[in-house]
């Protein structure tokens, strides 16, 4: 613990974790942009469910010897499609997610039990442990993120409309149901990418916490989104840099920073009072 | 807040019907909601749609919005140019929703379009500002919408429907759950719009009294039967008794109309246009 903030070690390590920082920055951007929509659509639990299935996919990939990233991607996109298609009525959404999540997690545990490789890989899928991000992984991550952002930009306006004002959006001809499935898939891709960095259990710290903090302090959707991006970047990059010297898991620091921001926003928010 | 159009458009607007239904029929399987419905709504006309639950008022709305095809007949709304404003009933909005009044109004302008809409941002802002001003909502346009009163939210709904400069205004129980003073404010705003801009108004309601002074004609739907005419023609004991096929008495008390006798004549159940779609 004496190395907790050792600048020399931090700077030294920084040079070879650069790809990891790039990955973190991209994921922070994704989380910050998607987060406010997720919060508005009350999808925090769905995101958690999706990340558990990303874990299942990753565990399966580990078992059969395929890239963990592809496994996570397959798992969470399947989850997103299932959740998007099954839960058309809001009333049973939570229970559907709960049922799928539990089954997926159990399956993942089974795959890990059957896997005979290094134990650190198993633990890493749940709580995040990026030893190194290879350039192939980085390209997959950046490419997938760009694809998510392009689709998001195209559907953003009607999606936002449908998210906050479904009745009128339907009346104006917005394809509300299709959009919610497409959005679930976008979130699924972002979740799968984030699982590799912070682990399945802690994806919410990237996708939810920054947006939850931002929406506390402003009622403007644009400002909330910009703030969420800033908060997510500070959490991810700050958390990564802080974790370097002590050599402790990245996810612990990322969650700590994002939660701290959330607390500050909650305590200082003046949004709930009407200015008259 | 009108966008200047060409003269040709204006004449066109004033000569053709804003809404035209011809031999319109809507049925689900064996169940016929209505059949042989002919309705022309002129520009600037105010038509109230009345009837008990399940008589097809909401389905008519869905047909006019293009969300539901007719089983037979034709429908034409605003000459097919989609300049339709829609005002829903007031519903509770989550207090923590990250949305301001001006965002809600902005959706009425271009919320259904693809892309981010960064171009024309200034013009967009001006139009939203003008719409907010026209309903007297400028003061609270930047507040979180969930913190506003039901009356303030419905004013924003009116602005949301008007910001796209509609030729047809479809109102789906917009006064429901408002107090009398706010019912008056909201219905007066709708009335002012049709008088100044010639917008045709189709107003679905279970309670005609708050809008009685504004109504030109009534479309009364009961179990597949319907009657179209002025309130004085339709809202009589004889006509409603025929429609309901049971003894119904229409009593006029001062300026109000009360319908006595038929069960479910007055429904208080709110309905949702989105039920089948979301």
Q: Å from B148 to nearest chain A CA?
A: 9
**Residue A64 in contact with partner chain B when CB distance is under 8 A:** no
* A58 neighbors A68 (Cβ within 8 angstroms): yes
Residue B23, pLDDT score: 94
Q: Å from A111 to nearest chain B CA?
A: 37
Of B91, B99, B278, the CB nearest to A164: B99
Residue of B nearest to A85 (CA): B278
- For residue B250, the cross-strand partners are B259
Of B67, B98, B110, the CB nearest to A157: B110
Instruction: Please give the span between the terminal C-alpha atoms of chain A, in angstroms, as a whole number.
Output: 52
Q: Interhelix angle for A221-244 vs A7-16, to 10°?
A: 110
Range of the domain at B137: 90-166
Residue A274 clears pLDDT 50, i.e. is over it: no
Using a CB-CB cut-off of 8 Å, the residues of chain A touching B77 are none
A25-29, A229-233, B168-172, B221-225: least confidently modelled range: B221-225
Residue B199's contacts (CB-CB under 8 Å, 6 or more residues apart) are B18, B43, B44, B85, B166, B167, B168, B169, B193
* B204 neighbors B62 (Cβ within 8 angstroms): no
In a domain, B17, yes or no: no
Asked if B144 and A271 come within 8 Å (Cβ–Cβ), the reply is yes
A98-107, A193-202, B224-233: least confidently modelled range: A193-202
Q: Which residues of B140-173 are buried (b: 16+ CB within 10 A; e: fewer)?
A: bbebbbbbbebbbbbbbbbbbbbbbbbbbbbbbb
Residue A75, pLDDT score: 93
Which residues 211-240 of A are in CB contact (within 8 Å) with B? 215, 218-221, 224
Of B98, B145, B160, the CB nearest to A215: B98
- In the block, tokens 């319908």 appear at B259
Which residues 95-124 of B are in CB contact (within 8 Å) with A? 95-100, 103-104, 107-108, 110-117
Residue B8, pLDDT score: 40
Which residues 92-151 of A are in CB contact (within 8 Å) with B? none
Residue A240 clears pLDDT 90, i.e. is over it: no
In a domain, B143, yes or no: yes
Q: Give the integer Cα–Cα distance in Å for A230 and A34.
A: 13
Asked if B143 and A164 come within 8 Å (Cβ–Cβ), the reply is no
Residue A276 clears pLDDT 70, i.e. is over it: no
Residue B227 clears pLDDT 90, i.e. is over it: yes
In a domain, B147, yes or no: yes
Residue A272, pLDDT score: 54
Of B99, B147, B273, the CB nearest to A170: B273
- Between A and B, how many CB-CB pairs are < 8 A? 105
Q: Give the integer Cα–Cα distance in Å for A201 and A127.
A: 6
Q: Å from B246 to nearest chain A CA?
A: 35
Answer with the residue of higher pLDDT: B16 or B6: B16
Q: How many degrees, rounded to 5, is the angle at CA A64 between CA A61 and CA A69? A: 20
Q: pLDDT tens digit string along A201-220?
A: 788 888 999 999 999 999 99
Residue B175's contacts (CB-CB under 8 Å, 6 or more residues apart) are B154, B183, B186, B187, B205, B207, B210, B211
In a domain, B109, yes or no: yes
Work out the average pLDDT over A210-232: 96
Answer with the residue of higher pLDDT: B81 or A270: B81
DSSP state of B228: E
Asked if B147 and A36 come within 8 Å (Cβ–Cβ), the reply is no
Residue A121 clears pLDDT 80, i.e. is over it: no
Answer with the residue of higher pLDDT: A50 or A83: A50
Residue of A nearest to B117 (CA): A157
Q: How confident is the model at residue A33 (pLDDT cuts 50, 70, 90)?
A: very high
In a domain, B132, yes or no: yes
Q: What is the percentage of chain B residues whose pLDDT exceeds 90? A: 65
Q: Å from A143 to nearest chain B CA?
A: 20
In terms of phi and psi (left: phi > 0; alpha: psi -120 to 50; beta: otherwise), the region of A108 is alpha
Of B32, B9, B2, B28, which Cα lies nearest the Cα of B78? B9
Q: How confident is the model at residue A130 (pLDDT cuts 50, 70, 90)?
A: low
Asked if A157 and B170 come within 8 Å (Cβ–Cβ), the reply is no
Answer with the residue of higher pLDDT: B103 or A3: B103
Q: Which of B87, B100, B111 to mutate to test the interface with A (most CBs of A within 10 A)?
A: B111
> How high does pLDDT run on average in chain B?
87
In a domain, B45, yes or no: no
Q: pLDDT tens digit string along B74-126?
A: 999 988 777 899 999 888 898 889 999 999 999 999 999 998 877 888 999 99
**Residue A153 in contact with partner chain B when CB distance is under 8 A:** yes
Most confident among A272-276, B40-44, B55-59, B274-278 (mean pLDDT): B40-44
In a domain, B37, yes or no: no
Question: How many domains does chain B divide into?
Answer: 1
Q: Is the ipTM of this complex over 0.90?
A: no
**Residue B92 in contact with partner chain A when CB distance is under 8 A:** no
pTM metric for this prediction: 0.87
In a domain, B158, yes or no: yes
Residue A90, pLDDT score: 64
Parallel, antiparallel, or unpaired: how do β-strands B200-204 and B46-50 relate? parallel
Work out the average pLDDT over A179-184: 93
Q: How confident is the model at residue A129 (pLDDT cuts 50, 70, 90)?
A: low
Q: Å from A98 to nearest chain B CA?
A: 21
Residue A97's contacts (CB-CB under 8 Å, 6 or more residues apart) are A45, A46, A48, A49, A83, A87
Across the beta sheet with B217-222, the strand order is: B84-87, B168-172, B200-204, B46-50, B217-222, B225-229
């Amino acid at each position: 613990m004496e190395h907790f903030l050792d600048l020399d070690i931090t700077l030294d390590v920084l040079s070879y974790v650069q790809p990891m920082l790039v990955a973190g920055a991209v994921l922070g951007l994704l989380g910050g942009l998607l987060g406010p929509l997720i919060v508005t659509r009350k999808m925090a639990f769905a995101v958690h469910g999706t990340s558990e299935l990303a874990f299942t996919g990753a565990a399966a990939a580990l078992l059969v010897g395929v890239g963990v990233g592809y496994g996570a991607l397959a798992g969470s996109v399947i989850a997103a499609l299932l959740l998007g298609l099954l839960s058309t009525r809001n009333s049973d959404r939570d229970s559907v997610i709960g049922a799928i999540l539990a089954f997926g997690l159990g399956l993942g545990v089974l795959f890990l039990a059957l896997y005979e490789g290094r134990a650190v890989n198993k633990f890493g899928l749940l709580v995040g442990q990026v030893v190194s991000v290879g350039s192939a992984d980085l390209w997959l991550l950046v490419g997938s993120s760009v694809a998510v952002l392009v689709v998001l930009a195209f559907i953003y306006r009607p999606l936002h409309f449908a998210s906050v004002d479904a009745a009128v959006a339907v009346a104006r001809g917005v394809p509300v149901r299709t959009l919610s499935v497409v959005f679930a898939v976008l979130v699924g891709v972002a979740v799968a990418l984030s699982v590799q960095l912070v682990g399945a259990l802690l994806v919410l710290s990237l996708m939810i916490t920054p947006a939850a903090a931002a929406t506390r302090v402003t009622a403007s959707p644009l400002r909330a989104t910009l703030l969420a991006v800033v908060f997510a970047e500070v959490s991810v990059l700050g958390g990564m840099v802080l974790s370097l010297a002590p050599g402790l898991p990245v996810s612990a620091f990322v969650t700590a920073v994002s939660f701290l921001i959330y607390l500050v926003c909650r305590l200082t928010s003046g949004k709930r009072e009407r200015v008259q | 807040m009108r966008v200047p159009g060409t003269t040709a458009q204006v004449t066109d607007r004033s000569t053709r019907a804003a809404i035209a239904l011809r031999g319109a029929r809507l049925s689900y399987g064996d169940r016929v909601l209505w059949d042989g419905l002919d309705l022309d709504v002129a520009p600037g006309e105010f038509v109230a749609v009345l009837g008990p639950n399940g008589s097809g008022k909401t389905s008519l709305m869905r047909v006019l919005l293009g969300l539901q095809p007719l089983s037979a007949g034709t429908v034409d709304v605003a000459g097919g140019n989609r300049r339709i404003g829609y005002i829903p009933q007031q519903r509770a909005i989550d207090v923590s929703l990250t949305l301001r009044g001006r965002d809600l109004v902005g959706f009425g302008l271009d919320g259904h379009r693809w892309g981010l809409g960064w171009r024309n941002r200034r013009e967009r802002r001006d139009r939203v500002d003008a719409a907010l001003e026209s309903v007297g909502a400028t003061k609270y346009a930047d507040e979180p919408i969930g913190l506003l009163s039901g009356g303030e939210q419905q004013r924003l709904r009116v602005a949301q429907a008007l910001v796209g400069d509609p030729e047809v205004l479809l109102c789906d129980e917009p006064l429901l759950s408002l107090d009398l003073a706010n019912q008056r404010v909201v219905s007066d705003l709708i009335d002012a719009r049709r008088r100044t801009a010639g917008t045709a108004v189709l107003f679905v309601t279970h309670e005609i009294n708050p809008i009685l002074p504004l109504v030109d004609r009534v479309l009364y739907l009961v179990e597949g039967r319907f009657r179209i005419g002025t309130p004085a023609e339709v809202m009589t004991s004889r006509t409603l008794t025929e429609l309901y096929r049971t003894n119904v008495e229409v009593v006029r008390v001062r300026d109000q109309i009360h319908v006595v006798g038929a069960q479910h004549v007055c429904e208080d159940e709110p309905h949702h246009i989105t039920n089948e779609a979301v």
